[in-house]
Structure 1
């Protein structure tokens, strides 16, 4: 297999989106990668991230590649869990306190920050509508997040999400209450759930 064939194969395996670092890990020299990019009209979509001309742009996956600590949260997580019928615009992500979110905010992304020790609570992998795996908070963490930040989220969106969650057959109320204690929304959550359940 030639170097060009190897790069083409790597793009195909990754739905047309490839990090240069991944190509180099596979033994592709940097100079050969740049030559391929130039020859094939491959677009640089973020630092070290390239999109083949025939690929669909998966904005959620590109955001994940650009900032791998960003976890889809709040309205974006509601979308992943089918608790809203609106596609989240702008996307909402949560990063660790101390990360500089200026670049993300300049690109119109809603960025929340949280202490390092709480950042990883409830992270799962889910697929974007294009089939790429990205980190998303699980449904119980998402419910706690939208209640904590309800003043910054349209009331109808978070109230509908709570109603949908209350009807959900796969809800885990023990986990929800454990998270609610961690995020200091237990009292508020109990009030809402008493009305809904």
Structure 2
């Protein structure tokens, strides 16, 4: 930290980025409310110009009070993945959104879903945005919860048992290819988004809100995944094709991460009808 006032009089151009940041921190510590407000107003434009640089047209920052600026803030929030209903909630009407879709040449992924041309499509986020009852589960959830080191080559999504998969096949287009496959010995519908791992849909028993947590995707968007306890219960079902080694690893890591939550795990395992299977694995691992 800078402790001498003379330090501020030195040639500012000779200082490193870290030294300049330290200077600013020391300045900020002694400013009053009005002065801090003035600094914020002064820095607002260069701050947002840098923050939104990947989304600007010709490096031009729109008026901070405009709908266009609000649109760009939302675009950056979701890493360039645009969902119409989220934009509407952010007070961007369809009129303005359609205007920006044209102006920024967004690509339509599916109804109400768009992507900036130079940004990565976030398939799990967009899928859940369109199908609000979908929850990432099984091996995919294990990895996102740090209960497995095995990097999944597909994203498993649980859907309600009564969901009609036949209705989903209508959404195939040049960005999304849909086909049938098998997961956990049952017929599964697979969504293959452009440059993303395929999404395997599996029907599941009801997943209560207390058994759902949120995690961020690689594109920094929040998605819903089954809780650690529900995920372990799911992979212990009789029709699960999760490898035995992965099951053992998940249980060992669970007890390392959540040593005080064993009662919760047993309660959910009992509810899902896999308590007997859980006790077998715990006994073999000497964790019971």
Q: Which runs of 5+ in 1 are unaligned?
A: none
Query: Out of 86, 101, 124, which is 1:37 matched to?
Result: 101
> Which position in structure 2 is the counterpart of 1:9?
73
Relative to structure 1, the CA distance from residue 27 to residue 131 in structure 2 (aligned partners, 3 Å threshold; closer, same or farther) is: closer
Stretches of 4+ aligned residues off by more than 4 angstroms: none
Give the TM-score of the pair, scaled to structure 1: 0.86
CA contact (8 A) 1:150 1:158 kept: no
Relative to structure 1, the CA distance from residue 156 to residue 169 in structure 2 (aligned partners, 3 Å threshold; closer, same or farther) is: closer
CA contact (8 A) 1:95 1:119 kept: no
User: How far apart are residue 80 of structure 1 and its match?
Assistant: 0.8
CA deviations 1:111-154 (Å, max 9, x no partner) are: 222344x4435111122233221111111111111001554223
Relative to structure 1, the CA distance from residue 150 to residue 181 in structure 2 (aligned partners, 3 Å threshold; closer, same or farther) is: same
> Which position in structure 2 is the counterpart of 1:152?
241
Determine the C-alpha separation between the residues in 1 that align with 2:149 and 2:102: 40
Larger Rg: 2
Q: State yes or no: 1:194 paired with 2:283.
A: yes
> Which position in structure 2 is the counterpart of 1:95?
159
Q: How does 1:40-59 map to 2 (within 5 A)?
A: 40-59=104-123
Q: State yes or no: 1:173 paired with 2:256.
A: no
User: How far apart are residue 67 of structure 1 and its match?
Assistant: 1.6
CA contact (8 A) 2:234 2:240 kept: no
1:152 aligns to what SS in structure 2? coil
Determine the C-alpha separation between the residues in 2 that align with 1:19 and 1:162: 37
User: How far apart are residue 71 of structure 1 and its match?
Assistant: 0.9
* Higher alpha-carbon deviation: 43-52 or 71-80: 43-52
2:203 aligns to what SS in structure 1? strand
Give the TM-score of the pair, scaled to structure 2: 0.61
Determine the C-alpha separation between the residues in 2 that align with 1:71 and 1:122: 10
CA deviations 1:138-196 (Å, max 9, x no partner) are: 11111111001554223332233233334x14241100110011001111110110111
Determine the C-alpha separation between the residues in 2 that align with 1:121 and 1:73: 14
* Higher alpha-carbon deviation: 8-17 or 132-141: 8-17
CA contact (8 A) 2:248 2:281 kept: no
Relative to structure 1, the CA distance from residue 125 to residue 149 in structure 2 (aligned partners, 3 Å threshold; closer, same or farther) is: farther
Q: State yes or no: 1:164 paired with 2:228.
A: no
> Which position in structure 2 is the counterpart of 1:126?
215
* Higher alpha-carbon deviation: 138-147 or 20-29: 20-29
> Which position in structure 1 is the counterpart of 2:92?
28
Determine the C-alpha separation between the residues in 2 that align with 1:175 and 1:13: 34
